[in-house]
């Protein structure tokens, strides 16, 4: 179990602290129907993650029936961790030298939140997770790691649901603060948003190098290289 969470924890942190995800959530909260719309945005992201978990879980459980269970699952997890390491390094280097993140939404996303309705926000949230390569790999890595741990179906479902909640914990807390303490949280959220916008490039570079190295070490260890 400890080995499972040593793999899931960086996946959770990497998913939860994506700067653009936090900034867009705060921008949506500034709109007239802020809390409802932000809730729909988070719900859209959640729906896609749950669908990914269902689909990947079915695929991996099917493959386990025809392959060596321990060897096959370990190879899948290690390969996915290696892919994640490469993605983080590429993202960090692109920001370092070109200030460009391939997974970042287009600039118009920074003005779009003000005009979103809850329905559109749901679709935008779903689309954001659906088109961002890192989120796909995060979820597939989590599913594969849970499958490798061989927890049993009920425990595996609980572990994946916990992964989804924790992966969205930052935006959930932000929306919750705006819902239950709107006046007290408004100023703080504005300052957080401004800080993230100013330092987005540096944050992505640091996170890319740190998480890239972590995933690389885990992948090489799983493949028996180190």
Domain boundaries defined on the chain: 2-222
Task: Report yes or no: 135 and 171 within 8 Å, Cβ to Cβ.
Answer: no
So what's the pLDDT on residue 165? Answer: 96
- pLDDT by residue for the chain (226 residues), tens only, comes to 667 888 888 889 888 988 888 888 998 998 877 899 999 999 999 999 999 988 877 665 555 544 455 566 677 778 877 888 888 898 888 878 765 555 555 556 566 777 889 999 999 999 999 998 888 888 888 888 888 787 888 888 999 999 999 999 999 999 999 999 988 888 888 888 888 878 877 888 888 888 889 888 888 887 888 7
**Cα gap 126→93, rounded to integer Å:** 27
Task: Report yes or no: 105 and 25 within 8 Å, Cβ to Cβ.
Answer: no
**Cα gap 226→104, rounded to integer Å:** 33
**Cα gap 47→53, rounded to integer Å:** 10
pTM for the whole thing? 0.80
DSSP 132: -
Burial class from Cβ neighbours inside 10 Å (0-12, 13-18, 19+) for residue 198 reads exposed
């Amino acid at each position: 179990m400890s080995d499972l969470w040593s793999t899931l924890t960086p996946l959770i942190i990497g998913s939860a602290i994506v700067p653009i995800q936090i900034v867009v959530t705060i921008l949506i909260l500034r709109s007239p129907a802020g809390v409802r719309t932000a809730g729909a945005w988070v719900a859209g992201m959640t729906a896609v993650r749950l669908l990914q978990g269902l689909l990947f879980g079915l695929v991996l459980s099917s493959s386990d029936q025809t392959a060596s269970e321990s060897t096959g699952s370990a190879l899948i997890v290690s390969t996915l961790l290696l892919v994640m390491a490469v993605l983080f390094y590429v993202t960090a280097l692109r920001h370092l030298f070109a200030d460009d993140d391939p997974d970042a939404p287009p600039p118009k996303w920074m003005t779009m939140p003000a005009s979103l309705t809850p329905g559109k926000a749901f679709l935008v949230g779903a689309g954001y997770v659906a088109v961002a390569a890192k989120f796909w790999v995060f979820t597939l890595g989590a599913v594969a790691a849970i499958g490798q741990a061989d927890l049993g179906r009920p425990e595996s479902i609980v572990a994946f649901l916990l992964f989804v909640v924790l992966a969205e914990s930052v935006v959930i807390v932000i929306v919750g603060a705006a819902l239950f303490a709107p006046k007290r949280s408004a100023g703080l959220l504005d300052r957080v948003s401004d800080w993230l916008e100013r330092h987005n490039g540096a944050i992505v570079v640091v996170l890319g190098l740190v998480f890239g190295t972590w995933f690389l070490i885990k992948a090489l260890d799983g493949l028996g290289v180190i």
